[in-house]
Amino acid sequence: MDAVADFSFATPTTRLLPFSTFTLFHRPHLYSSSSFIYFSKPLMAHNHHHHHHHHLTMSPVTINGHQQQQQNSSIIVPPFDHHDDYYHSIDEKLLDNIAYDALVWASLHGLLMGDKSYQKSGMVPGVGLMHAPFALFPTPFPQTKWNQASDLAPIFNELVDRVSLDGQFLQESLSRTKKVDEFTSRLLDIHSKMLQLNKKEDIRLGLHRSDYMLDEQTKSLLQIELNTISSSFAGFGSLVTELHRYILSRHGKLLGLDSEKIPANNAVNQYAEALAKAWSEYNNPRAVIMIVVQAEERNMYDQHFLSAVLRDKHGITIVRKTLAEVDQEGEILPDGTLSVNGQEVAVVYFRAGYTPADYPSESEWAARLLMEQSSAIKCPSISYHLVGTKKIQQELAKPGVLERFLENKDDIAKMRECFAGLWSLDDSDIVQKAIERPELFVMKPQREGGGNNIYGDAVRDTLIKLQKLGSQEDAAYILMQRIFPTASAAVLMRNGCWHKDRAISELGIFGTYLRNKDTVIVNNQSGYLMRTKISSSDEGGVAAGFAVIDSVYLT
C-alpha cells in the first residue's frame, strides 16, 4: 500500500517545525508527538532510554574547512553482532555527522515524500518536500532467516497465480465476508461478472510483497500478510539500501560495520523489468503503461522513481490517472482494447483501488469494471487482488488447502513453516481463547492500507460484542496469532532529527511473476523492504508517521 505502508496505523497529529527554526542557536523547545520527541535543534534528539553506555568520544578535526571525525585507532568498538544496544552507544557528535550526511544523500537521491504541512504536497510534484523517514543504520537480521524469506518468494508467486484461477474457491471462501463487508462484496461482484463472461487473462502479471516478522519466542520467521495490490516502496527500499551502503562505506570502519553485509536490493529495477516484459508481451509498441493513482499521493516519488526507470531504461510511455479520470476518459474499443484519452493501454498498474476510500462514488467502480473487462494486462487482475485478502490467507493456512493448489511437497512444507496461527471467528474454541488471552491475538478485518487491526483488550471487547449480536458480522474478521518480535536499538530519522528508540522490524520480500498462457516468463524474488517501527506502537505505516524505511544487515 502507498498511503500507509502496511504496518498499518492511524496517523498521529505531528507539529512540524518550519525548517528555519532548525538552528543551532535556539533553545531546544520540546515537541512531543506520540512516541516521538522533536527538538528544534538540528539532528539532535532526546533519548528516552538512559542506558549507561561507553560513548565513543572523538574530537572533530577540521579538514578543508569541513569537520571530520578523527579516525582514532585507540577507540575500542564493541563487536556489533553481540551487542544489542550497539547503535545507542555511538557518540552523539558522530551521530550528528552521520545524520547530516544521510540527509544530504536522501535529498540528492530522491528519498523524498510530500510534507503534509504543505497543502499541495500530494498533488504538485516538487512542492513541500520532506525526506522519507528512514533508519540511520541497517537492522541486524539472521542470514538463515533471510535465505528462508527469499526462497519463499517464487513459491508464493506461483501460489497466487494458481489460486487466482480457481474462481469457485475465491467466491466460496469469501461468501460469508461478502455479506458483511461492502468493499469485498463489490470486488466479488466484478469477479463474478468476469467468471460469467468466461474472461480468461492469458497474460498475468503479479508484483507482490510478502511481509514477515521474526517471532522472539519460537525464533521462527512468520508471515504477516501477502500483498497482491499496490505493493509499495520498491523505489524507497532500493534507495535506503544504497543509503546504508553509502553510510557504512564512509563511516563503517569507525563503527566496525561492513557495507558488504547489506544484501543488494534491486527492487525498483526488477519491478520495472517485470512491467516492461508484460508490456512487450502485449506487443504494441505504441501502447502505454497506465498507473492508477490516488488524487492526492504524498508517496508519489516512490511511484515516479519506477516510472523514470520504465521511461529511461525501457523507453515506455507512462501515464498517471485516477479512477475518476479513467471513468471520464476511458472506453473499450470493439476489439477489447482499453483506450484512455485516446491512448491504447497495454498494462494497468494499480497504486490505488485497494481501499474503500478510493471509491467515493459509482464512477470509480465503473472505471474498475471497465479496466477489468478490457484486454489490457492488469496488475493485479481482480482475481489476484482477491487472493491477497486476509480471509484467503486464513483459508490457505487450513490443513489440506495448499495441496489443492501445489504439488511440490517441499514447497508446501516451506510455506507452512512460515504460517502464523490463523482462524476464522466461527471457530468457537479459538474465540474463547482470545477472550481469555486477548494479548496473544490480533483481529484483522478485510482491509488494506492499515489503521484497521484490533489489539489487546479491544480484541476481547469486540469478540464479546459480536457474540452478543449473534450476527454475521464476525465474518468480516479473522483472528491471527500475535507475533512478538525482538526489539532492538535503532536510530530513526524523521523531520530532520535523529531519535534513539527500541524498535521492531518487518521484512517485506518483493516478488515478480509474469506468464503468458503456459509459459512462465518471470518468477523471481525481486529485492526487499525492511520497515522498522517504535516497539511501543501496535501499528505504524511509513506514510502515516510511525514506521521508517530500513535495510538489512546480515548476521
> What's the one-letter identity of residue 457?
D
**Is 179 labeled as catalytic in the residue annotation?**
no
| 23 CA to centre of own chain | 34
From 158, 201, 225, 297, the catalytic residue: 225
DSSP single-letter state for residue 78: P
From 449, 511, 540, 541, the catalytic residue: 449
**Is 298 labeled as catalytic in the residue annotation?**
no
From 448, 450, 527, 551, the catalytic residue: 448
DSSP single-letter state for residue 512: E
**Is 351 labeled as catalytic in the residue annotation?**
no
63: Cβ contacts below 8 Å, ≥ 6 apart: none
290 C-beta neighbours (distance < 10 Å), count:
27
Beta strands 288-292 and 318-321: pairing type? parallel
11: Cβ contacts below 8 Å, ≥ 6 apart: 451, 544, 545
The secondary structure of 83-112 as a DSSP string is -TTGGGGS-HHHHHHHHHHHHHHHHHTT-E
319: Cβ contacts below 8 Å, ≥ 6 apart: 288, 289, 290, 291, 340, 341, 343, 345
CA distance 31 to 27: 12
From 204, 277, 378, 444, the catalytic residue: 444
Angle between helices 234-255 and 92-108 (to 10 degrees): 150
CA distance 552 to 142: 9
> What's the one-letter identity of residue 110?
G
**Is 227 labeled as catalytic in the residue annotation?**
yes
User: HSE-up of 479 (CA within 13 Å, CB side)?
Assistant: 27
First to last CA, the chain: 29
From 482, 500, 531, 533, the catalytic residue: 531
**Is 339 labeled as catalytic in the residue annotation?**
no
For 310, the grid coordinates are 520504465
**Is 219 labeled as catalytic in the residue annotation?**
no
From 378, 390, 494, 533, the catalytic residue: 390
What residues pair up with 398 in beta bridges, in sequence order? none
Helix (H) or strand (E) holding 168: helix 167-173
| 24 CA to centre of own chain | 35
- Measure the CA angle with vertex 34, ends 36 and 296; round to 5°: 95
CA distance 5 to 550: 13
From 41, 145, 178, 209, the catalytic residue: 209
CA distance 34 to 504: 17
CA distance 426 to 421: 15
The secondary structure of 182-213 as a DSSP string is HHHHHHHHHHHHHHHTT---SEEEEEEEEEEE
From 227, 231, 299, 381, the catalytic residue: 227
339: Cβ contacts below 8 Å, ≥ 6 apart: 330, 331, 332, 333, 345
**Is 225 labeled as catalytic in the residue annotation?**
yes
Q: Is-contact 377 517, C-beta < 8 A?
A: no
**Is 209 labeled as catalytic in the residue annotation?**
yes
**Is 495 labeled as catalytic in the residue annotation?**
no
Burial class from Cβ neighbours inside 10 Å (0-12, 13-18, 19+) for residue 91 reads middle
If DSSP states are collapsed to H, E and C, what string results for 413-449?
Answer: HHHHHHECCEEECCCHHHHHHHHHCHHHEEEEECCCC
From 8, 173, 210, 232, the catalytic residue: 232
CA distance 213 to 289: 34
Residues noted as catalytic: 209, 225, 227, 232, 390, 444, 448-449, 531
